[in-house]
Structure formats: structure tokens, C-alpha cells
Amino acid sequence: MVKKNDPVDVVIVGLGAGGGPAAKVLSEAGYSVVGFDKGPWLRGPEHYSGDELKFQNRSYLWPDVDLMPRTVRRDETTEGRIFNFSPVPSAVGGGTTHMAGWTPRPRPSDFIMHSRHGNLEGASLADWPYRYEHLEPYLTKVEWSYGISGLDGAEVGAGFRSKRYPSGPLGPTKFGEKFYEGCRKLGINAMPLPMSHLTERNELGRKAVNRTSFWNQYGDPTETRSTVATTYIPEALATGNFEVRADSFVKEVVVDRNGKATGVVYIAPDGSEREQEARVVILALGAIESSRLMLMSKSARFPDGLANDSGLVGKNATFHEYLFAVGLFDRELSPALNGFTGNYQSGGSMHFYETDYDRGHIGGGIIATTQIGQPINPILPGKPVWGGAAKDADRDYFLHSMKIGMILQDLPQETNRVDLDPTVKDRWGMPVARITNRPHANDTAMSKWQIDKNVEILEAAGAVRTMPVYLGAEFTGNACHQHGTVRMGTDVTKSVLNEWAQAHSVDNLFVVDGSGFATALGVNPTLTIMAHSWRAADYIANTYLKGRSERLVLDPITATK
């Protein structure tokens, strides 16, 4: 017998960037909300530290690949192999607990890729069912509640913003200064990247960010990083309407005979199976796990998975890829660049963001100069692994190298997808997500062009040797970004969700993480996910749960191609 809990208004599955804002908005609106996360609820000073071995090598935060594996393959004909593809911390707070925290805004062009570029062969470009102007108020709300720092007036070509940043940025690192020098020489607009932390003179009255530099892939013991676990979760709890159920794995969304969601079945920390009924079910597990849960939730009404009338659940997955070029400097001639410093990144640019057909590809991605890393795992491609050569490489370049990375905006393709692995099971005995992916020609071309440009910047900054790292034959999921698997759109045959992230065929089901993104953006998705979730939660609180519905009518786009 499955034990049932008392029904609530709203269930949220996944308490990361997608689930956090929804928890806050709905519980503050007075609804009873239960939030599930399959991971533990870790607390800053008790569980986090600058322990490189623990966080970077022994995967304290990332899912244990033997317990929660994924499989990946290049195409339909190859067998999936177990691989920790696109790992995101399994913990309350999700990816926001470990992320470096780039939180740039998307651009207006991100929402109309199909109108701008038409049908590109091999890609499934689509417009979003809403536009930048519809998200802008929510971007501002997130920047001012979550806590984002940035330098107003530095991003050339930015979309309209209704309010400045609540905090200025951190000052440059030594390698950041080199990056700015290289960009200035080449006529490139650069800027300190908007970040999910605050500095001394912030207008939110919060403590300035820690400066230990143990940052990317680490949890923050000082709790000065803006994360869902330090902002929206405590705010939701403060209402008295919200309950966190950590270490609880949701295995199915239950639907009734009419196809309406009635709640979820989950495995509680004691191993028992339970059911939680709710008026509204919100999925926010990340694009891989949200689509997996939908595919696992088969019923008489939805034999191919929840809300999957279109057959599109899991398809059109985009992952970004983190690519970079490393520059080595001559230690006899150059001062130390201190690549271990900075809260990962120090200086970036959106100069190459908008389409320029002369480059041989459409779209573009944000670039940034980032930490080389701490002593165990510094990034030096092809580094010798033993002997005097290995020791020399560390002595010569640990302090004298830098790197300029990019977020590759991969194009959606129906064949890049998530489905259920036919044989591999997780610790709960459920089929794991299998990822099928291969890059589009545009992805490969963008990688080559932008990384070569990053090499030019390094050379202009004084690097003696450069090492480009391009996109290979497959995505590795190393950006830990996921989108597109439960696509939003207006045509019910070509999308699963509408403009409120609400399922076309299950009106009380909402998917508020990056799953809905029709295209991948050329920036890190977290800020957009949070704003998107807030916008959907506003609709749920003020329209849907009031028994009403609304549609957003978009003006036609005037051609700018």
C-alpha cells in the first residue's frame, strides 16, 4: 500500500534554479507547497569548504555515477555508455550550489531565432512563445532578490533593462586585466560578467562575497554566493506555507482518467513509497531529469509518457559546451597571472553574440576569461602526467597561464534527445536517462571561429603559446547546462508546453526549468531559468489557480535579417 500524505496546492519536483523561484512566489501567494529534491539538504558552514580533492575529484556534490548514472551515445546505431553527462549537484539548491555563477541576461535576439534565420537544414529552430520584453520584468526581479552584481553601462548591445544592478562587480584579477588588455587592442567590447554574488557596496544590505577563490564546483561555506538554497528556499520557508522534502526521489507523476495530474509518487528517505497529491504539479529537475520523469510517467491516457502527445518529450535537447583556449606566458618575462584567483571568471564579452554571416555560422556565445584552477586540477591541455616534465609544467605555468572560454550555443536538433535507457537502472531501480547527441555543422563552425578568436585575444595579451580546445565529435556535457527537452511553443503538434510553461495536454502540469527553452541562448541559462520560473509561477498563482486562463498574443516580427 502506498501511503498518502495530505493533499497540498502545489508540488514542486526539483529545488534548483527552476524550483526555487516557484517555491518562493507560490508560497508567498498563500498556497501550500511541497518541494522535493532527490539530493540532501546541505548547509554552508557545516558541509562546504575549500577542499579541492573533495569537491573536484571525489564528487562530493555531483551525483555518484554508480548510483545515478546516465548513458550517452552519438547516434541511434551506437550503444550507450555510462557517463556522468551534464552533472548538476544532487542537493537542495541544485546547480546553483556549485555554479561559478555567470548570470548575464539573454538578448532579445535569443527569443526569435527562427524568425531571424528561418529553417536551417538539420536544425529545428523555433521562436520562443514569449519574447525578451515579457521576461524583462522578471529578470529584474531576480537580479534584485537573488542578488546579482554587474557593471551598468558596460555591455554594448544589451537589451532594455528597467533597473540597474543592485551591486557593482568584483575588481579584475591579474589574468582579467590581461584579458581586457587583449580585447582593447583588438577593438573588442569587454565587461565584468554579471555574477551571482554581491560586493561591498551592494544595495541589498548583504554581506560581500567570500574571496577564497574556491568557487566553481565548490559549495560556498560562507553563504555569500547567491544560491537558491540561501535565498528563495529560506524565503519560501519563512511564509510557513512551504515544506522541503530532501532525499526524496519522485518516480512518477500520477494522472487521472482524464489526463489531469493528481500528484506524484516518491520514495521517501526511509525507502518507503509514498504519494503526494496536489492541485498543480511543477517539474523543475533540469532538462534531462524532467523529461526522464515525464517519459517514466506512463498511463492509459499517455502511453508514451506524460503530456507526450506530440512525441517531442526528450527531443531537441541542447547542452551548450564549454570550450576554451589556454595561453602560456613566459615566466621570465611576465608577472604572475594567479590563475587560482577570482570567483572563477574575471572579464567577459558579448561582442560576438549576434549573428554575423561573414563568420560562417549563425548565432554566437558569451566568452569569458576564467580561473586555471587550484593545484590538483589546473587546466593545461596535454599536460605531461609524470616525471620532471610534469613537475616543470606546474612550476612554469601554474601561475603563468590563463584561459578564455566560451559558451557554445548549440542549435536544437530533433535527433539530439533524452530517452530511457533500455538496460541501465539507477539506485531506485528506475531506467536512467540516455542522451543521444552529435553536433550540428553550425556548432562545429562556431566553436572553431570563436576559439580561434579567443586565441587571438590571448596573443594580443602577450601569450607566447596558445592551446585551442574545440568541440569534438560529441558533446561532453561539461557546461552542466541543459535545455529544450520539453519544448515551449504555440503549435501543439510542435511543442509540449505553452508560453506559461504549462503542458498543452495537462493543464495543471508546468515545467519551469530550462526544458521549455525552444533554443539554447548564447549565455548561461540560470538567470533566464529563474526569471522564466518566476513568470510561470506568477501565472499559476494569479491566473491559473484563480480558475482563469490567458493567452499571450505576440506581434509579428519585422524582418531584420
Examine residue 381 and tell whether it contacts other proteins (CB under 8 A).
Answer: yes
188 makes contact with other proteins (CB under 8 A)? yes
Q: CB nearer to other proteins: give 30 or 381.
A: 381
Q: How many CB atoms lie within 10 A of CB 1?
A: 4
> Among residues 53 and 557, whose Cβ is nearest to other proteins?
53
**Would you count residue 389 as binding other proteins (CB under 8 A)?**
yes
What are phi and psi for residue 250, nearest 5 degrees?
A: -85, 120
Taking CB under 8 A as the rule, does residue 247 contact other proteins? yes
Compare residues 7 and 83 and give the one whose CB is closer to other proteins. Answer: 83
Return the HEC string of 369-394. Answer: EECCCCCCCCCCCCCCCCCHHHHHHH
CA distance 307 to 312: 9
Residue 398 as a binder of other proteins (CB under 8 A): the answer is yes
| Comparison of 153 and 556: residue with beta carbon closer to other proteins | 153
30 binds other proteins (CB under 8 A): no
Residue 446 as a binder of other proteins (CB under 8 A): the answer is no
Q: Is 210 in the site for other proteins (CB under 8 A)?
A: yes
Instruction: Determine the Cα–Cα distance for residues 326 and 398; give it in Å rounded to an integer.
Output: 12
Residues within window 306-325 making contact with other proteins, judged by CB under 8 A:
321-323
Whether the CB-CB separation of 551 and 489 falls below 8 Å is answered with no
338 close to 174: Cβ distance less than 8 angstroms: yes
Using CB under 8 A, which of 11, 313, 362, 399 touches other proteins? 399
Dist. CA 395–CA 227, nearest whole Å:
35
The number of residues making up the chain comes to: 561
Residue 354 lies near other proteins (rule: CB under 8 A): no
- Residue 133 touches other proteins, criterion: CB under 8 A: no
**Is residue 184 at the binding interface for other proteins, with CB under 8 A as the rule?**
yes
Contacts with 531 (C-beta within 8 Å, 6 or more apart), sequence order? 21, 135, 138, 139, 141, 142
Cβ contacts of 78 within 8 Å, gap of 6 or more:
none
Contacts with other proteins in 500-539 (CB under 8 A)? none
By CB under 8 A, is residue 266 in contact with other proteins? no
Q: How far is the CB of 171 from other proteins (least distance, A)?
A: 6
- Residue 394 found at the interface with other proteins (CB under 8 A): yes
Chosen residue from 78, 211, 304, 543 binding other proteins by CB under 8 A: 211
d(CA 195, CA 493): 38
* Nearest in space to 536 (alpha carbons), one of 484, 507, 501, 497: 501
Distance CA 489, CA 130 (A): 9
39 binds other proteins (CB under 8 A): yes
Is 456 strand, coil or helix? helix
Q: How many residues bind other proteins (CB under 8 A)?
A: 112
User: Site residues for other proteins, window 87-106 (CB under 8 A)?
Assistant: 87
Residue selected from 56, 140, 308, 310 as contacting other proteins according to rule CB under 8 A: 56
The continuous run of DSSP H or E covering 350 comes out as none
CB of 79 to other proteins, least distance (A): 16
Q: If binding is defined by CB under 8 A, does position 425 make contact with other proteins?
A: no
Q: How far is the CB of 211 from other proteins (least distance, A)?
A: 4
- Using CB under 8 A, which of 6, 187, 240, 548 touches other proteins? 187
CA distance 544 to 510: 11
